[in-house]
């Protein structure tokens, strides 16, 4: 208690010297939290968007389906199991390779058939409800931009049906949707499921079936393998892990800056305040008490920095959490889910852990130079003689 | 514990400092006793060992030979903690360069020893105000040492030494940085405290202004006591 009281007095009494340190430390504090908040926000948003728009509560894959090998698509289809026919809980998707000819060019794509009335994924499949003669197709904005397609445009689609026969027809772009999940956008066109089944002569068949996020169990079904969210988000989790490593390096770097500031202040204090240390000892402080006093002083820099960071940083971080941070152009072509605007997410855990790590480490860093005090000769210290 | 009001006894004490491969003997064969209420000066030229003697009595240093007992405690045998407790409870220090804590106000500087003693806020306030009244600085409570004159700083140092009403006050060249008027003011204040509170004052000094106030004068030369005399007409009735 005494150490806290005296340390507080010393810090407040030291004025500008204290505040300069505290300001530097509070910057570090804030940037550490902000940096982690951005990655957390991106992770959260991307996971949510991917779950809502692509993977749902998990997917049943046809046993031959391998998303990394398009040649498996020829065999990766089968009659949808009875269990998976509930429109409220499942959304079947049939996938096939096709070729389109936009503006005289040739472009290989994936044709994906989905039920326009499905309720599992949150992208606008209802736009596919159409009575037109041509194939109504819906595509993402990246795909539309890459192929210079607009709503109302026609494009020739060629595909190979279940019997290996090539066929072709005109498709009409009925809707272009904007999504943060590039894996439902790049190189693919969405068509009504039944239309695709008919085109492919695969009535009642699908390549995969997306489950509702609310389902609590996924029974084993013959020829259909259930892939849970963790499995389906594995690639993304790996990427976030990699980004986290980068984030931790930044985090460590900022902490290092904070430590150096504290360490430097402490070393300087012990040199400059030798006379004061000697006087403290002469007035009856034990060396242990002096060491505690200096350590608490260092640690208090951390506490004051946390308070200061909360005062000016709290509103700043809140503002950014609400307004979000616009991502630079081009990041949505990276093949992973990145929203145009990332809303940083600062969890209580992040703030508490960061505060504890900064406080504990600054206390340790404060303590290290103070061990020198125990080697001081008090009679020399009183005279301010450099030791 | 202490016969005849003897607070300090020093027997055959010597102090050596390492110099190169050898030793320099700063004090040699010192034998002294100090009683309660003394107003004593240790005088002598620079390097005669005055400050060393004061530091050993103040348990800031330990003797190399002999025995020094302060308030019944052998200085050479005290642990760091016990030495700190002795200083905290019974000893007051006044330094030539005041040694005030620069970031504290006058009030906080004087309050500091009481915080170490664990006194409560009310006791501290009363004691600090009494001490500052004694030295005539109640109007400077909030000033920092940098805002005070040398004389005022030393008065704060005196108040800090006296605030806990110690049995012994050790003053190392307390007037060396002060002009004549301030020196006399400080000495008069200390003399008043000595007579009213029976606090033992031991000065290390070579200042003639101080010598006039001393009741007992111990002369040191090259680390040896060459003269130990009571000053006539100075309370030695």
Give the pLDDT mean for A257-280: 80
Contact A286 B99 (CB under 8 A): no
Residues of B in contact with A384 (CB under 8 A): 97
Angle at A120 between CA A116 and CA A123, to 5 degrees: 60
Contact A283 B81 (CB under 8 A): no
Give SS3 for A317. helix
Residues of B in contact with A291 (CB under 8 A): none
Q: How many domains does chain B have?
A: 1
- Does residue B1 register a pLDDT over 50? no
Q: How many domains does chain A have?
A: 2
The residue whose two tokens read 């810090």 is A11
User: End of a domain among A173, A208, A227?
Assistant: A227
Local confidence band at B77 (pLDDT 50, 70, 90 cut-offs): very high
Asked if the structure places residue B204 within a domain, the reply is yes
Distances (CA, A) of A336 to A40, A245, B42: 15, 18, 84
Contact B116 A284 (CB under 8 A): yes
User: Does one domain contain both A369 and A243?
Assistant: yes
pLDDT-above-90 percentage for chain A: 39
User: End of a domain among A173, A199, A227?
Assistant: A227
Task: Give the DSSP H or E segment for B17.
Answer: strand B6-19
Contact A379 B115 (CB under 8 A): no
Angle at B38 between CA B33 and CA B41, to 5 degrees: 80
Residues of A in contact with B88 (CB under 8 A): 283-285
Asked if the structure places residue A387 within a domain, the reply is no
Distance CA B162, CA A272 (A): 27
- Which of A188, A231, A191 shows the shortest CA–CA distance to A50? A231
User: Does one domain contain both A144 and A210?
Assistant: yes
Domain that holds residue B133: 38-60+79-230
Asked if the structure places residue B14 within a domain, the reply is no
Distance CA B104, CA B147 (A): 11
User: Does one domain contain both A355 and A296?
Assistant: yes
Among A15, A283, A287, beta carbon nearest to B113:
A283
Asked if the structure places residue B15 within a domain, the reply is no
Distance CA A369, CA A263 (A): 7
Domain that holds residue A199: 58-227
How close A312 gets to chain B, by Cα (Å)?
A: 27
**Contact by Cβ (8 Å): B57, B40:** no
Point out which residues pair with B204 in neighbouring strands. B42, B172
Asked if the structure places residue A38 within a domain, the reply is yes
CB-hemisphere CA count at 13 Å for A24?
17
Report pLDDT for B176. Answer: 83
User: End of a domain among A227, A255, A271?
Assistant: A227
- Does residue B230 register a pLDDT over 60? yes
Report pLDDT for B237. Answer: 46
CATH code of B211's domain: 3.40.50.300
Residues of B in contact with A274 (CB under 8 A): none
Give the length of chain B.
Answer: 237
Asked if the structure places residue B124 within a domain, the reply is yes
Asked if the structure places residue A77 within a domain, the reply is yes
Structure tokens at B86: 């002795």
What are the tens digits of pLDDT across the range B183-202? 888 899 889 889 988 999 99
- Which of B35, B41, B116, B27 shows the shortest CA–CA distance to B70? B35
How close B16 gets to chain A, by Cα (Å)?
A: 14
User: Does one domain contain both A166 and A261?
Assistant: no
Asked if the structure places residue B117 within a domain, the reply is yes
Dump the DSSP string for A302-316: HHHHHHHIIIIIHHH
Among A13, A286, A378, beta carbon nearest to B104:
A13
Asked if the structure places residue A28 within a domain, the reply is yes
**Contact by Cβ (8 Å): B236, B203:** no
Asked if the structure places residue B237 within a domain, the reply is no
Local confidence band at A336 (pLDDT 50, 70, 90 cut-offs): low
The residue whose two tokens read 């330094």 is B95
User: Does one domain contain both A179 and A282?
Assistant: no
**Residue A151: CB partners within 8 Å, gap ≥ 6?**
A173, A174, A175, A176
Contact B84 A379 (CB under 8 A): no
User: Does one domain contain both A283 and A368?
Assistant: yes
User: Does one domain contain both A172 and A214?
Assistant: yes
Asked if the structure places residue B138 within a domain, the reply is yes
pLDDT-above-70 percentage for chain A: 96
Count CB atoms within 10 A of the CB of residue A271: 12
Distance CA B42, CA B40 (A): 7
What are the tens digits of pLDDT across the range B117-160? 999 999 999 999 999 998 889 999 999 999 999 889 999 999 99
Asked if the structure places residue A300 within a domain, the reply is yes
Contact B103 A14 (CB under 8 A): yes
ipTM entry = 0.90
User: Does one domain contain both A152 and A132?
Assistant: yes
**Contact by Cβ (8 Å): A159, A310:** no
Contact A276 B112 (CB under 8 A): no
The residue of chain A nearest to residue B143, with distances taken between CA atoms, is A13
User: Does one domain contain both A46 and A63?
Assistant: no
Task: Sort strands A188-192 and A107-114 into parallel, antiparallel or unpaired.
Answer: parallel
User: How does the average pLDDT of chain B come out, rounded?
Assistant: 91
Q: Is A85 on the interface with B (CB under 8 A)?
A: no
The residue of chain A nearest to residue B103, with distances taken between CA atoms, is A13
Strands (E), chain A: 59-62, 78-79, 90-100, 107-114, 135-140, 154-160, 166-177, 188-192, 205-206, 208-211, 224-227, 325-326, 341-342
What are the tens digits of pLDDT across the range A120-130? 999 899 999 98
Structure tokens at A365: 């860093």
What are the tens digits of pLDDT across the range A54-98? 999 999 999 999 988 888 888 999 999 988 887 788 999 999 999
Local confidence band at A252 (pLDDT 50, 70, 90 cut-offs): confident
Helix ranges, chain B (H): 50-57, 80-90, 106-117, 121-135, 150-162, 180-197, 208-211
């Amino acid at each position: 208690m005494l150490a806290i009281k005296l340390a507080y007095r010393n810090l407040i009494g030291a004025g500008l010297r204290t505040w300069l340190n505290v300001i530097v430390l509070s910057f570090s504090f804030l940037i550490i939290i902000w940096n982690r908040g951005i990655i957390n926000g991106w992770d959260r948003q991307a996971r949510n968007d991917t779950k809502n728009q692509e993977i749902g509560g998990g997917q049943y894959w046809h046993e031959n389906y391998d998303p990394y090998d398009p040649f498996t698509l020829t065999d990766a289809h089968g009659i949808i199991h009875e269990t998976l026919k509930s429109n409220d809980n499942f959304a079947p998707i049939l996938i096939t390779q096709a070729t389109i000819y936009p503006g005289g060019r040739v472009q290989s794509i994936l044709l994906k058939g989905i039920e326009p009335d499905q309720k599992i994924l949150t992208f606008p499949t209802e736009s596919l409800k159409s009575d037109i003669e041509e194939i109504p197709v819906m595509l993402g904005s990246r795909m539309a931009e890459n192929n210079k397609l607009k709503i109302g445009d026609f494009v020739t689609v060629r595909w190979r049906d279940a019997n290996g026969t090539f066929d072709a027809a005109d498709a009409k772009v009925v809707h272009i949707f904007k999504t943060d999940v590039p894996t439902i956008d790049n190189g693919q066109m969405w068509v009504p499921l039944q239309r695709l089944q008919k085109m492919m002569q695969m009535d009642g068949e699908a390549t995969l079936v997306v489950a509702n996020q609310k389902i609590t169990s996924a029974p084993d079904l013959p020829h259909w393998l259930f892939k849970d969210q963790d499995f389906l988000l594995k690639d993304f989790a790996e990427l976030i892990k990699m980004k986290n490593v980068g984030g931790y390096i930044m985090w460590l770097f900022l902490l290092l800056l904070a430590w150096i500031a504290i360490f430097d202040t402490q070393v300087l204090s012990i040199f400059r305040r030798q006379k004061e240390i000697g006087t403290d000892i002469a007035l009856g402080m034990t060396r242990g008490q002096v060491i505690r006093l200096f350590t608490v002083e260092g640690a208090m820099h951390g506490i004051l920095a946390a308070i200061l960071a909360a005062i000016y940083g709290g509103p700043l971080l809140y503002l950014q959490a609400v307004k979000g941070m616009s991502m630079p152009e081009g990041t949505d072509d990276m093949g992973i889910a990145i929203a145009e605007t990332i809303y940083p997410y600062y969890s209580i855990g992040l703030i508490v852990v960061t505060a504890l790590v900064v406080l504990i480490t600054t206390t340790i860093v404060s303590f290290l130079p103070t061990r020198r005090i125990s080697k001081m000769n008090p009679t020399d210290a009183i005279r301010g003689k450099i030791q | 514990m202490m016969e005849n009001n003897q607070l300090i006894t020093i027997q055959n004490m010597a102090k050596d400092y390492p110099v190169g491969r050898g030793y320099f003997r700063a004090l040699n064969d010192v034998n002294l006793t100090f009683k309660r209420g003394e107003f004593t000066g240790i005088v002598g030229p620079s390097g005669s060992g005055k400050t060393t003697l004061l530091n050993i009595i103040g348990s800031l240093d330990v003797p190399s030979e002999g025995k020094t007992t302060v308030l019944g405690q052998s200085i050479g045998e005290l642990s760091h903690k016990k030495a700190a407790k002795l200083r905290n409870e019974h000893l007051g220090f006044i330094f030539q360069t005041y040694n005030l804590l620069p970031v504290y106000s006058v009030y906080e500087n004087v309050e500091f020893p009481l915080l170490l003693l664990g006194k409560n806020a009310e006791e501290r306030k009363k004691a600090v105000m009494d001490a500052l009244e004694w030295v005539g600085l109640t109007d400077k409570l909030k000033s920092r040492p940098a805002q005070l004159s040398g004389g005022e700083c030393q008065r704060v140092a005196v108040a800090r030494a006296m605030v806990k009403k110690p049995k012994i006050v050790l003053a190392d060249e307390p007037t060396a940085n002060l002009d004549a008027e301030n020196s006399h003011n400080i000495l008069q204040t200390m003399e008043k405290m000595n007579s009213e509170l029976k606090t033992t004052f031991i000065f290390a000094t070579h200042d003639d202004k101080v010598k006039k106030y001393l009741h007992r004068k111990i002369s040191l030369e090259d680390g040896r006591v060459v003269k130990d005399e009571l000053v006539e007409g100075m309370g030695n009735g």
